[in-house]
Structure 1
Amino acid sequence: MGILEKISEIEKEISRTQKNKATEYHLGVLKAKLAKYRAQLLEPSKKSEKGEGFDVLKSGDARVALIGFPSVGKSTLLSTLTKTESETASYEFTTLTCIPGVIEYKGANIQLLDLPGIIEGASQGKGRGRQVIAVARTADLILMMLDASKQDVQRDLLEKELESVGIRLNKLKPNIYFKIKKGGGIAFNSTCALTKIDEKMVQMILHEYKIFNAEVLFREDCSADELIDVISANRVYLPCLYVYNKIDQISIEEVDRIAKKPNSIVVSCNFLLNLDYLLEILWEYLALIRVYTKKPGQAPDFNDCLILRRGVTVEHVCHAIHRSLIGAFKYALVWGTSTKYSPQRVGLNHVMDDEDVIQIVKK
């Protein structure tokens, strides 16, 4: 029995098992088995996968993966937002490899990857699914392109495909401490009331992974699926923006309904509708900020900025300018919204805001 058959058998058993108190332990073990087999499926076999991946060098300030079914407008979006021409046509599977483009926005270079259309069963290696998914795991953000007239079906199928290969969309990492030990059995503890899992299920799931000595601490009320994610240790938690294209083909009431969904934006690539707003939202989701530098006695250079992530400190700014700067750092003067008054004298731990100006004073 091959891995695909085993996965199929377990999925069938899960779907026909009634979900109640009596079957929850059985379901927990089945889910652990399923996660194990799926992990094996994604490990590239040394013979068949060699030279088949889309090895695109990571460049720019952030990487965005464009995912969607064939013919939803991914290539049109890439050609519109970047200077890269991706072949577009009215037939399916026009794009057969990964095409990188660069969005130049607010001084940042955002790498946009146009990936071949995903088909149902991609997580099991159908189409170029496995390579598409491998590239998607390296992105900072998933841009899921959907046809506004078929949106619910497409979205559910794509989420299912990504979920089955360990890509978690718009979710936080489960707050579970887990460490394998050499002896002492399984030490189980929790800092809150657990309603979705108990100690017996934790032990059964760990035993399925052949783990008999470990420390497990639940810091929040998590489920068996979330514990399996933590044990697997190969899950990727990515923000996802759902882009509904071809809104010119549906009613205004339907456009309004889709636009109100969380993490969603409506566009029309053919009529260039709402693409400016898409770039604004993209900037927000990537959590990028601009920091300008200033030399003593001179005006700030607003033509050149450092592109950093939200939450960076003065120490990160020093590293971005030059790694030897920290050794000579005395203090910094900062102008902008992160300060109480301008300029404010700050240390290395001061957190920067978008469009702050910084002057480094050396010893």
Structure 2
Amino acid sequence: MPVNLPPQYHQKEAELKTAKTLEEKISILEKLLTIMPKHKASEKLQALLRTKIAKYKKVIEKKPQAVKKQTVPTVIREGAGQIVFCGPSNTGKSTLLSVLTKAKPDIAEYPFTTKTPCLGMLQYADIKIQLVDTPSLSSQFSENWLGDILRKADALVFLFDLSSDSLLEEMEDSLTTLERFRIKDEATFTFTKKILWAGNKIDVSASKDIKEVFTELYKNKIQDGFLELSAKEGINLEQLPEHLFNLLEIMRVYTKIPGKPPDKANPFTLKKGSSVTELADIIHKDIAKNFKYARLWRIGDDKIAIAGRDYKLEDGDIVEVHV
């Protein structure tokens, strides 16, 4: 059953974006509770608004705390790109990492099992993508070093539990933490990183009703992709590697030496839209400096192209550089 929020609700909700103080936000949230239709489908949203009100009131009452020293974990980048898993606690991030890679993170039913980053390598076609499992996003417990890891990643996977009765509260708390880490804009549903939103545990019967509420509130706002899956049962996992590759916005380019076959085992990875010059620069600075022209073979095209410095490359191109 859909929530069916009236137009007045959305008009009042828009005022939250311009509210300057916590007191103003509390007042608007209380009015939203009054406007909202009261029935079973709206119970979760009512609970979310009450949670926000309580949180803001607690912040007003709370005194500043001393900042404690932290031990900062180090994540060494490898592969064609780095994608970091993030999201609320107990959503299956560690399980997903173990299924996709040979990594063996700690997996348990209790919250906040993951304390430090855990790395794994995903084999996608002829390249490897680094996947990083991280501690859960929490406005109370997330340490600042987690924000640094998220900001340095090439892209993120935000994993959430479609069977959780507390999904809306968990989403709100995680999004608040992403705002603190400067990943999410405070006023809008926009982010500084490409994010794949992944709803886990669709094998659980309760996920259908919870998904309807999530869809009404969030799905239309999602820009970079949404995927439903079950890490435990393997549902839709065959789609995930391609989603991750596309999320990185990279392409594979193969090189060949004149008179020899192309090296198909070790492609160069470049950002989409890169030129022949950028490829030459990666191969060797002298090659870029002395570049004359390149011969190029493209998938689906029988002709050999003669490419100059500014020629735009595509995924799967074979390039023979001449100096």
Taking structure 2 as the reference length, what is the TM-score of the superposition? 0.72
The one-letter code matched in structure 2 to 1:56 is: V
What is residue 317 of structure 2 aligned with on the other side? 356
What is residue 151 of structure 2 aligned with on the other side? 137
The percent identity for this pair of structures is 27
What is residue 92 of structure 2 aligned with on the other side? 73
In 2: Cα distance, 1:259 partner to 1:105 partner: 30
Where does the alignment leave 5 or more consecutive residues of structure 2 unmatched? 1-19, 29-65
Q: How many residues align?
A: 258
Q: How do 1:112-127 residues align onto structure 2 when only pairs under 5 Å count?
A: 112-119=131-138, 121=139, 126-127=140-141
Q: CA deviation at 1:164?
A: 3.2
The one-letter code matched in structure 1 to 2:153 is: A
In 2: Cα distance, 1:248 partner to 1:148 partner: 9
Q: What per-residue deviation string (whole Å, max 9, x for no partner) do you get for residues 3-36 of structure 1?
A: xxxxxxx742341577xxxxxxxxxxxxxxxxxx
- Higher deviation after alignment, 340-349 or 150-159: 150-159
Q: CA RMSD in A?
A: 3.0
Q: CA deviation at 1:251?
A: 6.4
- Do structure 1's residue 89 and structure 2's residue 108 form an aligned pair? yes
Q: CA deviation at 1:323?
A: 1.9
Which residue among 218, 223, 244 is the counterpart of 2:199? 244
Q: CA deviation at 1:237?
A: 1.3
In 2: Cα distance, 1:16 partner to 1:145 partner: 29
Which residue among 222, 244, 264 is the counterpart of 1:302? 264
What is residue 158 of structure 1 aligned with on the other side? 174
Q: CA deviation at 1:252?
A: 8.4
Which residue among 121, 134, 155 is the counterpart of 1:102? 121
Q: 1:16 to 1:255 in 2, by over 3 A?
A: closer
Q: 1:243 to 1:142 in 2, by over 3 A?
A: same
Contact 2:201 2:207 in 1 (8 A): no
Contact 1:145 1:242 in 2 (8 A): yes
Q: 1:127 to 1:164 in 2, by over 3 A?
A: closer
Q: Which runs of 4+ in 1 moved over 6 A?
A: none
* Partner-residue secondary structure (3-state), 1:238: coil
What is residue 173 of structure 1 aligned with on the other side? none
In 1: Cα distance, 2:208 partner to 2:201 partner: 14
The one-letter code matched in structure 2 to 1:358 is: V
Contact 1:75 1:114 in 2 (8 A): yes
In 2: Cα distance, 1:155 partner to 1:87 partner: 23
Q: What per-residue deviation string (whole Å, max 9, x for no partner) do you get for residues 246-294 of structure 1?
A: 1000368669867994421011111111112011111111112111111
Taking structure 1 as the reference length, what is the TM-score of the superposition? 0.64
Q: CA deviation at 1:340?
A: 7.2
The one-letter code matched in structure 1 to 2:256 is: K
Which residue among 278, 288, 307 is the counterpart of 2:240? 278
Q: What per-residue deviation string (whole Å, max 9, x for no partner) do you get for residues 129-173 of structure 1?
A: 32222211111111101001234443333222212331137xxxx
In 1: Cα distance, 2:170 partner to 2:119 partner: 24
Contact 1:69 1:117 in 2 (8 A): yes
Contact 1:290 1:356 in 2 (8 A): yes
Which residue among 49, 53, 59 is the counterpart of 2:69? 49
Q: 1:346 to 1:254 in 2, by over 3 A?
A: farther
Contact 1:255 1:266 in 2 (8 A): no
What is residue 37 of structure 2 aligned with on the other side? none
Q: CA deviation at 1:225?
A: 6.0
* Partner-residue secondary structure (3-state), 1:342: strand
The one-letter code matched in structure 1 to 2:266 is: D
